[in-house]
Amino acid sequence: MARANIFHTRGARSEPWQLAGAALLVGIAASIVAMALRGSVHYLFDLSNELRSHWWGMLLLPAFGAMLGVFIIRVLFREPGGHGVPSVLEAVTRRGGHMRRRSIISRLLGSLFNVSAGGSAGLEGPIVYSAAAVGSSIANAMRMAERQRVLLLACGVAGGIGAIFNSPLTGMIFAMEVVLAEWTLGALLPIAISATVATEVPRALSLSTIEGPLQAAGSYTWNGADLLASGCLGLLAGLMSVALVVCIFRAEGITRKWKTNFATSNLGLVAGLAGLGVGAIGIFMPEAIGEGYGTIANILNGTTALSSALLLLLFAKLIATTLTLGSNAPGGIFAPSLVLGAILGYGFGGLLNVLFPAIAFADPSFFAIAAMAGLVAGSMQAPFTGIMLALESTGSWEGTLPLITVSVLSVLVSRTFLRHSFYTWELAERGELMRPGSDRRILSEIRVAELLDEESISITSGSTLDDLTRELPNTSRNQFAVVDESGRLLGMLSVTSLRGVIFDEVVRKVTSVDTVMDTTLPALKGESSLLEATDCFEECGAWVLPVVDADGMFMGTLSKSMLFDRYRRELIVQTADHLE
Amino acid sequence: MPLDLHQAALKLGVSPATVQRWARQGRLGMVRPSGEFLFEERELQQWARNQGLKIRNELKKPQNVRALQDKPLSAALAKGAILHNVAGYTPGEVLSVLVELSPVTEDRNRTALLQQLIEREALASTALSAGVALPHPRAPSDAFTDAPIVVIAMLEQPVDWLALDGELVHTAILLLNPTAHEHLQVLSRLALVLREQKLVDALKARSSAEDIFGIIDSLEPSNG
């Protein structure tokens, strides 16, 4: 009996180490990106505090920041607006992890001005975008293949989130749950390395992260009643997430309409108008605008008063976020979700104490943390990310069970109403959300030209059926292409349709292939994907279709049987994890 | 109206057994595997859309929508004509007379038709053996006719049609078809009946139109 082969071949041994080394680099770079943005936002925010003390400064600053942000992204860098995570997902699913190098700074600069001026949005989306571009660029510099590039892009994302929240596990989970949508060992290892390194860099440099504001005041104790209450809170958090996502999408729709109606290709005007609205809210409720981590800090350390004003604040924050993100001003949904969650949970906890004074519920700030998890989970439809973010960033590990309860119920509610998450909506609507191993993904990656039948035979226009029968012994195929002298496709001939005439020698000699060819069959383009080819087969009901190049020259034929055969091979290769 | 299992299978383009398996595996969320297979059409469409499946609204009709003729050749001949004493000393002259006498959809197309017939002859002679030629346009087209037409023309005098066997042509049979499919159908029937000496003899003997039609009709097998 042969000895069992328990060792990898040499090539397979070195690849994970190369990736690990690259992931280390990506982690450091992503961390630097995240720290630079956070530091500059705080610096600019403090700098502009003087202006904010006047009512006109409060009103105009967000508008100015939003317009500047949109101008930077759309005019200077010529990139689509918004928070950028859909572009990251698109890079993963459609472009082999390719992102432009300028994407490293475009959204950072844009969101820097928008958020520090008071726009109700987070920096995490832009950091995810930027760190993803860092990973992609490092992979490009190291001349890595597409799959490895996608992994390094995810490493960047994990590093960025890890660094900004001081939470390596959240970074890992977000990268796998939301960005890659796959859980394989081969992906986990480099992502873990990047997240770890990225989280350690700011600590080693003793830079403050947001560990401060999100850190819980102390440890909590909870009992069965709290768990039951968490169930209710989960449903509320789910509804709130749905409201947030729907409001932003409705607002985006209005923004698009304004853009076309008033022919302002520069979205800065709309964002500026929306920014005025944000500023107006800020005059009356400064806690509702900006990134909002100060608001969370006040809730977690219990300095925010438990009153009905919380309900007002909740709506103000929702509207401010809708205005900022719905007008395509640069910024992310992470921070607003956390702030909305904190307000919702805090108010919920306070209400519990009023409604059931006899029951000793946990501190309202504990519910605030649970609802933070719920809002993130619900709006991203990513329960694991929500749970881990709330646990790691607040350090409230004792609250695992209520947090899971809230997150899971929130996602359940969100999925009841929404077919896609905040991040995947845009791609899914365009039909471009193609998750690894899915049918559309596999079909879209294979080009028709890869599957050409080499044995396919063409016959020149003007030939007779007699000429065709002389070709028959040389091939096992039943379909022939009729081409002109230059090789341009004119039509198709199927031997089976010639049954009635092909055995009569005289008729064969007087019948030209042009007369009996089928010109109604559509021709596939060699550059098309199999996705288009399968649609074409389905529509015309044919078994074999001709394939032409961009100039209409005949390249070969594609048969359904070949398609199925190759599809299966591709499925085997694509669903196997090479890096495991 | 709710769809039953077979209708749903037809819509989804799979067999009823597949629909049953999907229900059993819980993939078709809206039916209980234990219950009756009744589908709301709207729900089924929504489900298919979520899965990325295409719904077939009606079964794809075959390309040729025209009803299948019981005897395609006889039918085409009935639409056409059987002519005697068609004049001309060359194929070109014969063809121009033939085109004038043919029931083409619109008169203005006659010039184009004649040109196509002459082009086809230039490519290679359409003369068969035994003195019969089969002129036809190079490509079938609905510009000339919307249903197959066959015109049999017995010539005034034998014409040199550049036949492979060197024989002079005594009968030209014009074929006009809207599609390649119909051309093949009529041509195969024609090849079949022309193998019968009885028909060739009748053509050579300039038999009456009724006789020739009768012979062809009796020789052509019925599709039914």
Task: List chain A residues with CB under 8 Å of B162.
Answer: none
Average pLDDT (A371-384) is 93
Average pLDDT (A204-225) is 70
pLDDT for res A82: 64
Asked whether the beta carbons of residue A500 and residue B125 sit closer than 8 angstroms, the reply is: no
Asked whether the beta carbons of residue A515 and residue B139 sit closer than 8 angstroms, the reply is: yes
Mutate to test the interface with A, among B55, B188, B195, B223 (most CBs of A within 10 A): B188
d(CA B151, CA B83): 8
pLDDT for res A580: 42
Q: Is the pLDDT of residue B66 over 60?
A: no
A505 touches chain B (CB under 8 A): no
Average pLDDT (A31-52) is 81
A498 touches chain B (CB under 8 A): yes
For residue A88, what are the contacts with CB-CB under 8 A and spacing of at least 6?
Answer: A99, A128, A129, A132, A153, A157, A179
Asked whether the beta carbons of residue A514 and residue B125 sit closer than 8 angstroms, the reply is: no
Average pLDDT (A253-264) is 72
What percent of chain A lies above the pLDDT cut of 70?
92
Task: List chain B residues with CB under 8 Å of A511.
Answer: 187
pLDDT tens across A521-567, in order?
888 998 888 888 888 888 888 888 999 998 888 998 898 888 888 88
Q: How confident is residue B13, by pLDDT bands cut at 50, 70 and 90?
A: confident
Q: How confident is residue A577, by pLDDT bands cut at 50, 70 and 90?
A: low
pLDDT tens across B22-40, in order?
877 777 766 665 566 777 7
pLDDT tens across A321-352, in order?
888 888 777 778 888 999 999 999 999 998 98
Asked whether the beta carbons of residue B124 and residue A512 sit closer than 8 angstroms, the reply is: yes
B127 touches chain A (CB under 8 A): yes
CA atoms within 13 A on the CB side of A155: 34
Provide the 3-class DSSP secondary structure of residue A46: helix
Q: Is the pLDDT of residue B205 over 80?
A: yes
Q: Is the pLDDT of residue A240 over 90?
A: yes
Provide the 3-class DSSP secondary structure of residue A556: strand
d(CA A373, CA A174): 13
Chain A stretch 355-384, residues whose beta carbon is closer than 8 A to a beta carbon of chain B: none
pLDDT for res A579: 43
- Tell me phi and psi for residue A482, to 5 degrees: -100, 125
Q: Is the pLDDT of residue A67 over 60?
A: yes
Q: Is the pLDDT of residue A38 over 50?
A: yes
Q: So where are chain B's domains?
A: 5-51, 72-219
Nearest to B183 among A462, A515, A535 (CB): A515
ipTM, two decimals, is 0.72
pLDDT for res A196: 94
Lowest pLDDT segment from A159-173, A502-516, B123-137: A502-516
Q: Is the pLDDT of residue B61 over 60?
A: no
Mutate to test the interface with A, among B128, B142, B177 (most CBs of A within 10 A): B128
pLDDT for res A377: 94
d(CA A64, CA A54): 15
pLDDT for res A562: 84
Q: Supply the mean pLDDT for chain A.
A: 83
Name the residue in chain B with its Cα closest to that of A519: B180
> If one looks up domain B72-219 in CATH, what number appears?
3.40.930.10
CB A74 within 8 A of CB A268: yes
Q: Residue B142 has which token pair?
A: 């609905």
Q: Is the pLDDT of residue B131 over 90?
A: no
Nearest to B187 among A439, A501, A538 (CB): A501
Asked whether the beta carbons of residue A516 and residue B139 sit closer than 8 angstroms, the reply is: no
Q: How confident is residue A155, by pLDDT bands cut at 50, 70 and 90?
A: very high
According to the 3-state scheme, what is the secondary structure of A217-268? CCCCCCCHHHHHHHHHHHHHHHHHHHHHHHHHHHHHHHHHHHHHHCCCCCCH
Asked whether the beta carbons of residue B50 and residue A419 sit closer than 8 angstroms, the reply is: yes
A462 touches chain B (CB under 8 A): yes
What percent of chain A lies above the pLDDT cut of 90?
21
**Across chain A, how many H-helices and E-strands are there?**
26, 6
Q: How long, in residues, is chain A?
A: 580
Closest C-alpha among A85, A39, A48, A8 to residue A385: A85
d(CA A232, CA B37): 36
Q: Is the pLDDT of residue A255 over 70?
A: yes
Asked whether the beta carbons of residue A464 and residue B140 sit closer than 8 angstroms, the reply is: no
Mutate to test the interface with B, among A444, A502, A515, A531 (most CBs of B within 10 A): A515
* N-term to C-term CA, chain A: 27
Winning range, highest mean pLDDT, from A182-191, A375-384, A387-396, B165-174: A375-384
d(CA A76, CA A99): 17
Asked whether the beta carbons of residue A516 and residue B126 sit closer than 8 angstroms, the reply is: no
Q: Is the pLDDT of residue A269 over 80?
A: no
- The pTM assigned to this predicted structure is 0.74
Name the residue in chain B with its Cα closest to that of A465: B184
Domains and CATH numbers, chain A: 12-210 (1.10.3080.10), 224-429 (1.10.3080.10), 440-575 (3.10.580.10)
Comparing A576 with A237, the larger pLDDT belongs to A237
Asked whether the beta carbons of residue B123 and residue A515 sit closer than 8 angstroms, the reply is: no
Q: Is the pLDDT of residue B193 over 80?
A: yes
CA distances from A31 to A23, A36, A41, A482, B63 (A): 12, 8, 15, 61, 62
Q: Is the pLDDT of residue B200 over 60?
A: yes
* Chain A, chain B: beta-carbon pairs less than 8 Å apart: 68
pLDDT tens across A88-111, in order?
888 888 888 888 888 887 888 888
Lowest pLDDT segment from A59-63, A165-169, A314-318: A59-63
Report the gap between the CA of B20 and the closest CA in chain A (Å).
22
B134 touches chain A (CB under 8 A): yes
B123 touches chain A (CB under 8 A): yes
A430 touches chain B (CB under 8 A): no
d(CA A129, CA B22): 40
pLDDT for res A195: 94
